[in-house]
Amino acid sequence: MCSLALFPAPLPDGQTTLCESNNELLSGSDAEERPKQVRSTQPQELSPLSLFFPRESLKLHSRTESSSRAAFLDHSETLWMRSAAAWWDTHTHTHTHTHTHTHNCLSNIGLFEDYIIRAATVSRRLLDYSTFSALFTFCVARSDCVVRAFAWHPHTDKFAVALLDDSIKIYNPKSATTPTLKHRLQRSVAAVQWKPLCASALAVACQNCVLVWHVDPCSLSTRPSSGCAQVLSHPGHSPVTSIAWSPSGSLLASASPMDTAVMVWDVAAESCVPLQRVGGGGVTFLSWSPDGSHVLAPTPSALFRVWETRMWTCERWPCVKGRCQSGCWSPDGSRLLFTVQGETVIYALTFTDAPAGISTGTSKGPQAAAVVADLSETSFNTAHGDVIVGGEIQSLAWDPRGERLAVLLKGDPQAADRPAIIAVFKTRTNPVFELLPCGFVQGEADAEPRLMQFHPSFQHGALLTVCWSSGRITHVPFYFLSAGVPHFGLSGSPLLPRPQERCSALANQSLFTEMIS
Amino acid sequence: MFSTQQSCWFIRKVICWRAAASIAWAVLLLPPVTAVFVILSRFSLLHPIHTISGLSPLIHSEVLTCEAVLCTKLTPLFYLQNASPFIPTIACSKIALLGQLLHPRQFVNSSAHCIMGIIVAWCCAVTIGGRYETIGYPCTHSDGSTHMCLNEYHLILLLAGAFVGFSHSLLGVIHNMNFVSFHTVQQYKYLRFKGSLPLVVKCSATQALYSVRNYVVVYFFLGYIPKAWICKTLNLHLNSSIHPLDSIAGLLDLSLLYHLWISATFLLFTWYITLLLFRIFVTEVYNFPVQSSFTEEAHQCLPKVLTDKEPMILKFLALQDLALLSQHSPSRRCEVFSLSQPGGHPHNWNAISRECLSLLADLTQRLVAYHDTVATNGRAKSLSTGSERKTSSETSVTSGTEDLMSPRPTLMMKTPASVFARSIVGGPQSPLTAPFTPDLDSPFASPSLRRLTAPVEQCSPWHGTVQSPHVMRRVPKLWSTSTDSQANGSPPPSPASVASPQQQTSKPSLLAQFLQNRKEQVKHFLAKRVLIMYLFNKLPEASSQALFADSQAHIWALEGRRRWWTSLFSLDVDRTSQPQQCSLCPIISSSYRHFKLPHASSKPLRSASSMGDPTYKTLRFALRATLKTAIYRITTTFGDHLNAVQMSAEHRKRLQQFVEYKD
| CA–CA dist A299, A303 (Å, integer) | 6
Q: Do B186 and A311 make contact, defined as CB atoms within 8 angstroms?
A: yes
Rounded to the nearest angstrom, the minimum Cα separation between A357 and chain B is: 6
Q: Which of B652, B649, B636 is nearest to B584 (CA)?
A: B652
| A248 lies within 8 A of chain B by CB | yes
Residues of B with CB below 8 A from A357's CB?
331
* B181, B196, B328: best to mutate for the A interface, most A CBs within 10 A: B328
| CA–CA dist A514, B199 (Å, integer) | 48
Q: How high is the pLDDT of residue A116?
A: 46
pLDDT at A106 over 80: no
pLDDT at B342 over 70: yes
| B286 lies within 8 A of chain A by CB | no
pLDDT at A517 over 70: no
| A377 or B145, higher pLDDT | A377
| B656 lies within 8 A of chain A by CB | no
Q: Do A268 and B187 make contact, defined as CB atoms within 8 angstroms?
A: no
User: What single letter denotes the amino acid at residue A388?
Assistant: I
Q: From A271, which residue of chain B is nearest by alpha-carbon distance? A: B615
Residues of B with CB below 8 A from A254's CB?
none
Q: From B329, which residue of chain A is nearest by alpha-carbon distance? A: A359
Q: Do A356 and B663 make contact, defined as CB atoms within 8 angstroms?
A: no
Packing angle, helices B74-82 and B104-128, rounded to 10: 170
pLDDT at B50 over 90: no
pLDDT at A229 over 80: yes
| B662 lies within 8 A of chain A by CB | yes
| A312 lies within 8 A of chain B by CB | yes
* B184, B337, B548, B658: best to mutate for the A interface, most A CBs within 10 A: B184
* Model confidence pLDDT, tens digit, residues B257-280: 999 999 999 999 988 888 888 889
Rounded to the nearest angstrom, the minimum Cα separation between A279 and chain B is: 16
Q: How high is the pLDDT of residue B58?
A: 60
Contact B549, B87 (CB under 8 A): yes
| A365 lies within 8 A of chain B by CB | no
| A475 lies within 8 A of chain B by CB | no
* A172, A271, A288, A294: best to mutate for the B interface, most B CBs within 10 A: A271
| CA–CA dist B317, B382 (Å, integer) | 39
* Model confidence pLDDT, tens digit, residues A276-309: 888 777 888 899 999 889 999 998 888 899 998 9
| B289 or B159, higher pLDDT | B159
| A122 lies within 8 A of chain B by CB | no
Q: From B606, which residue of chain A is nearest by alpha-carbon distance? A: A270
* Model confidence pLDDT, tens digit, residues A166-217: 899 999 888 888 999 999 999 888 899 999 998 889 999 998 899 999 998 8
| A273 lies within 8 A of chain B by CB | yes
Question: CB pairs below 8 Å between A and B: how many?
Answer: 87
Which candidate from B183, B186, B194 shows the least CB-CB separation from A310?
Answer: B186
| B443 or B521, higher pLDDT | B521
* Model confidence pLDDT, tens digit, residues B173-224: 888 777 788 888 888 999 999 988 998 999 999 999 999 999 999 999 998 8
CA B21, B23, B28, B33 dihedral sign is: positive
| A268 lies within 8 A of chain B by CB | yes
Rounded to the nearest angstrom, the minimum Cα separation between A89 and chain B is: 33
Rounded to the nearest angstrom, the minimum Cα separation between A302 and chain B is: 24
Residue B599: band (very low, low, confident or very high) from pLDDT cuts 50, 70, 90: low
pLDDT at B461 over 70: no
Contact A395, A138 (CB under 8 A): yes
Q: How high is the pLDDT of residue A1?
A: 57
Q: From A250, which residue of chain B is nearest by alpha-carbon distance? A: B626
| B332 lies within 8 A of chain A by CB | yes
Q: Which of B451, B455, B459, B433 is nearest to B99 (CA)?
A: B433
Indicate the average pLDDT of chain A: 75
| A366 or B87, higher pLDDT | B87
Q: How high is the pLDDT of residue B76?
A: 53
Which candidate from A199, A217, A311 shows the least CB-CB separation from B188?
Answer: A311
Q: From B617, which residue of chain A is nearest by alpha-carbon distance? A: A269
* Model confidence pLDDT, tens digit, residues B527-557: 777 777 777 777 766 777 777 777 788 888 8
| CA–CA dist A7, A23 (Å, integer) | 13
| A71 lies within 8 A of chain B by CB | no
Mean pLDDT of the B460-485 span? 35
User: What single letter denotes the amino acid at residue A242?
Assistant: S
User: What single letter denotes the amino acid at residue B36?
Assistant: V
Q: How high is the pLDDT of residue B491?
A: 39
> Strand, helix or coil at A294?
strand
Rounded to the nearest angstrom, the minimum Cα separation between B596 and chain A is: 16
Q: Do B629 and A198 make contact, defined as CB atoms within 8 angstroms?
A: yes
Q: Do A251 and B621 make contact, defined as CB atoms within 8 angstroms?
A: no
Instruction: Give one DSSP letter per residue of B393-433, joined into a string.
Output: HHHHHHHHHHHHHS-HHHHHHH-HHHHHHHHHH-SS-HHHH
Q: Which of B264, B271, B25, B291 is nearest to B164 (CA)?
A: B264
Reduced 3-state DSSP string for A169-234? EEECCCCCCCCEECCCCCCCCCEEEECCCCCCEEEEECCCCEEEEECCCCCCCCCCCHHHEEEECC
Q: Which of A353, A430, A248, A45 is nearest to B637 (CA)?
A: A248
Reduced 3-state DSSP string for B5-28? CCCCHHHHHHHHHHHHHHHHHHHH
Residues of B with CB below 8 A from A275's CB?
195
Which candidate from B186, B195, B621 shows the least CB-CB separation from A274?
Answer: B195
Packing angle, helices B392-405 and B510-527, rounded to 10: 120
Q: How high is the pLDDT of residue B67?
A: 63
> Strand, helix or coil at B113?
helix
Q: Do A266 and B622 make contact, defined as CB atoms within 8 angstroms?
A: yes
Q: From B613, which residue of chain A is nearest by alpha-carbon distance? A: A271
Residues of B with CB below 8 A from A251's CB?
184-185
Residues of B with CB below 8 A from A218's CB?
662-663
Packing angle, helices B254-282 and B152-174, rounded to 10: 40
| B412 or B366, higher pLDDT | B366
| B581 or B253, higher pLDDT | B253
* Model confidence pLDDT, tens digit, residues A118-162: 444 444 444 444 444 445 443 444 446 788 899 999 998 899 999
Q: Which of A436-450, B171-185, B382-396 has the lowest mean pLDDT?
A: B382-396
* Model confidence pLDDT, tens digit, residues A416-432: 778 888 999 999 887 78
* Model confidence pLDDT, tens digit, residues A29-39: 754 545 444 44
Q: How high is the pLDDT of residue B197?
A: 92
Q: From A154, which residue of chain B is nearest by alpha-carbon distance? A: B661
pLDDT at B483 over 80: no
| A313 lies within 8 A of chain B by CB | yes
Q: Do B187 and A273 make contact, defined as CB atoms within 8 angstroms?
A: yes
pLDDT at B47 over 60: yes
Q: From A362, which residue of chain B is nearest by alpha-carbon distance? A: B328
Q: What angle do CA B566, B571, B577 make, to 5 degrees?
A: 65
Rg (CA), chain A: 22
| B607 lies within 8 A of chain A by CB | no
Residues of A with CB below 8 A from B195's CB?
273-276
| A387 or B210, higher pLDDT | B210
Q: Which CA distances in Å does B131 have to B134, B156, B331?
A: 8, 12, 66
| CA–CA dist A158, B531 (Å, integer) | 54
| A250 lies within 8 A of chain B by CB | yes
Q: Do A266 and B663 make contact, defined as CB atoms within 8 angstroms?
A: no
Contact B460, B337 (CB under 8 A): no
Q: From A267, which residue of chain B is nearest by alpha-carbon distance? A: B622
